[in-house]
Structure 1
Amino acid sequence: MDLELRHLRVVCAIAETGSVTKAASTLGLAQPALTAQLQRIERTLGGPLFERDRRGARPTALGELVLARARVLLPAMKGLQDEAARLAGAGDAPRRYRIGGVNSPILGRLVHRLAAEQPQAQITTHASWSVDELAQLVAGARLDYALTGVCGDSTPSADYGLSWREVAVDPVMVLLPETHPLANRDEVDLADLRHEQWVAAPGDGCFGDCFAAACARSGFTPRKVYEADVRSCIDLVDAGEAVALCQATFRPVAGLVTRRLAGSPLRWRLMLGWHPESPAAPTADLVLETALVAYTDALAPHPAYLAWLLRNPAFGVRRPAPVLAAERVRSA
């Protein structure tokens, strides 16, 4: 039997989990099948790779040697595959846009404008609750762009080598039923919501450390937080069971109102990311400009918020868009 990369992944999985049974579960294999595969690998390499007993599986000296080589070869092969995928897409025609989004308020408008301006373009979208997942997909050449947001002054992780540009920054607002006692105010103090129950969609957003810190600064700890999909979040607010944080460009819904939080204690920065060495990089400026126009389109149904932006230039589109993440690291 010739040794293959999949065999090295088996060896690494057993070493990382410390058990053939756990490794089988991780790899989605039956335990007897993985045991038989390990025995074939050991015969090929000329000796046992693990000492196995009730306490689990521990690498032998030969096993340590194989693991040391595998931990170099597997990442190198993954990098080769990623680079090859990016290079293979370099000559794509018609132009391709594979865009991933996390709760993006402008994804629909961005796709609409790209499709209108380039009718022959191949445009696909991918939804995820995780910025890191989208960044991994872009780094692995399975997406071209990630359109997502980060809370406050934070930036997406630089671990995936992406370039990031800010599209716009908005204050996070609160979504209330129009019958709520605070719904007649232009803005609401966060402290006035201390007795409310909250609801949030899963994934990245302002309902983590930023929200807890803002509540602490206002002198309280938030009550129960429901987790639900976006449609169910709206339903829970509409039913009067909870209030929710929302983006400033949240599309108006009958029976609900959005209100600014006094002092803008939470901010949401909309970001566009891509890999600087991918075939998508040459068109990144075009996509960024289209995203900026899409954001401006999203303001049209919100004349009061648009007027507020004119009085508060620290929010909205801020030019020039700063260089972030991977490019900042390279220039340091």
Structure 2
Amino acid sequence: MEIEVRHLRALCAIADTGSLHRAARQLGLAQPSLSTQLRRIEEEVGGALFLRARTGCRPTPLGRLVLSRARPLVADMSALVAEARAAAVAGPQPRIGSTASRALAGWLRRLRHAQHEPSLHMDVSPNALLRMVAHGHLDVAFVHEVEGHPLRIPEVLRVRVLMHREPQFVSLPADHPAAGKTVVDLNDLADDRWMVDPAVDGEWDGVHRMLRAAGLNPPVLHGDYHTAASLVATGQVVTVCQPTSLSRPETAVRRLHGDPLGVRLLVAARSDTDLDDVYPALEDAYWETARESVVYHQWLQQHLGRGSLTRAG
């Protein structure tokens, strides 16, 4: 007997309902049929998956192990069926991957207005997203490439550059002495702890090179974006951030003097057609987000010129 998705779905139903009778009713089966099916599954895996008692069915240790693997498979299959049904009605919808960006909300909104219903896969690793596009698991990826740390772009991909060099700003506590400045020098932050996310391709190397070039060797903590935001807000660290980030009551986003760290923003797909379907919406969303950040908007006007911002409003 080969175990199929329907068998895994039956195991999940038994565990969820705690009863062969209720699980059979949920699955639309006769209880004897479900009992026979369970017995054959247990013979296949080589052990009992449930303890049967008058009070119901409880997973055995082996059952818990099998269920831990079965549940995500059943969920993935349900998602696949739902996605396929939606595609059959409306046509294939874009599968988008992205690293963190404030432009995402506007991008997805524009695609939905154009009668797309994209799926979204987030990952801190640009290289991982590019591999997913190359292998056909995603249609498009919007990623960033940290200066000095080139991404490994598979040869099969087509790439468009949204920003050749987006300067990275700094997020610091609102009551930090340097928060009163429009432009912050790295030496103003010499006594601060920094936080970086080492899981982001190139981020630690980029920040380390930036600090070393300034002659600084501060304590560096490792953490994700959410942790960094919390620690900045409580005055414990400073961190590099995207220039589209917005200041909040507890935090201030400022430009770094000389723009010592930058990233390149890329969009990758397996064909120009895939890029054409989603790139204009992303471009519009990015410039909309850039205008919302006063500091970044001013930087763009200074470095790209007012004419370069005309198409973005």
Q: TM-score band (shorter)?
A: 0.5 to 0.7
1:285-325 deviation line (CA, Å, top 9, x unaligned): 2411111101011023213421221111299979xxxxxxx
Does the 8 A contact of 2:130 with 2:153 survive in 1? no
Where has structure 1 moved over 3 Å in runs of 4 or more?
A: 314-318
Structure 1 gap ranges (5+): 1-32, 34-87, 319-332
Alignment of 1:231 with 2:222, yes or no, is no
**Could you say which residue in structure 1 is the equivalent of 2:64?**
none
1:107-147 deviation line (CA, Å, top 9, x unaligned): 221111101122xx231000112112111111111100111
- Equivalent in 86, 91, 105 of residue 108 of structure 1: 105
Partners of 1:193 and 1:104 lie apart in 2 by 25
How many residue pairs align between the two structures?
A: 223
Does the 8 A contact of 1:171 with 1:315 survive in 2? no
Alignment of 1:166 with 2:161, yes or no, is yes
| Cα RMSD after superposing both structures | 2.7
Does the 8 A contact of 1:197 with 1:241 survive in 2? yes
The amino acid of 1:213's aligned partner reads R
- Equivalent in 181, 186, 192 of residue 190 of structure 1: 186
Decide whether aligned partners of structure 1 residues 315 and 193 sit closer, same or farther in structure 2, where only a CA change above 3 A counts.
farther
Name whichever structure is richer in helix by fraction.
2
Decide whether aligned partners of structure 1 residues 316 and 208 sit closer, same or farther in structure 2, where only a CA change above 3 A counts.
farther
Structure 2 SS opposite 1:219 = coil
**Could you say which residue in structure 2 is the equivalent of 1:56?**
none
**Could you say which residue in structure 1 is the equivalent of 2:195?**
199
**Could you say which residue in structure 2 is the equivalent of 1:9?**
none
Alignment of 1:144 with 2:139, yes or no, is yes
Alignment of 1:94 with 2:91, yes or no, is yes
Partners of 1:191 and 1:272 lie apart in 2 by 35
The amino acid of 2:104's aligned partner reads L
**Could you say which residue in structure 2 is the equivalent of 1:306?**
297
**Could you say which residue in structure 1 is the equivalent of 2:253?**
258
1:161-215 deviation line (CA, Å, top 9, x unaligned): 3222111232100101110010000111112222210112342256322222221
Decide whether aligned partners of structure 1 residues 182 and 232 sit closer, same or farther in structure 2, where only a CA change above 3 A counts.
same
Structure 2 SS opposite 1:298 = helix
Structure 2 SS opposite 1:308 = helix
Partners of 2:253 and 2:243 lie apart in 1 by 8
The amino acid of 2:98's aligned partner reads G
Partners of 1:160 and 1:217 lie apart in 2 by 33
Alignment of 1:267 with 2:262, yes or no, is yes
Does the 8 A contact of 2:145 with 2:265 survive in 1? yes
TM-score (normalised: structure 1): 0.61
- Equivalent in 162, 176, 179 of residue 175 of structure 2: 179
Deviation, structure 1 residue 153: 6.2
Decide whether aligned partners of structure 1 residues 173 and 191 sit closer, same or farther in structure 2, where only a CA change above 3 A counts.
same
TM-score (normalised: structure 2): 0.65
Identity of aligned residues (%): 27
Does the 8 A contact of 2:139 with 2:274 survive in 1? no
The amino acid of 2:191's aligned partner reads H
1:219-244 deviation line (CA, Å, top 9, x unaligned): 122x2222223222111001111001
Decide whether aligned partners of structure 1 residues 172 and 250 sit closer, same or farther in structure 2, where only a CA change above 3 A counts.
same
Structure 2 gap ranges (5+): 1-44, 46-83
Does the 8 A contact of 1:104 with 1:148 survive in 2? no
Does the 8 A contact of 1:200 with 1:207 survive in 2? yes
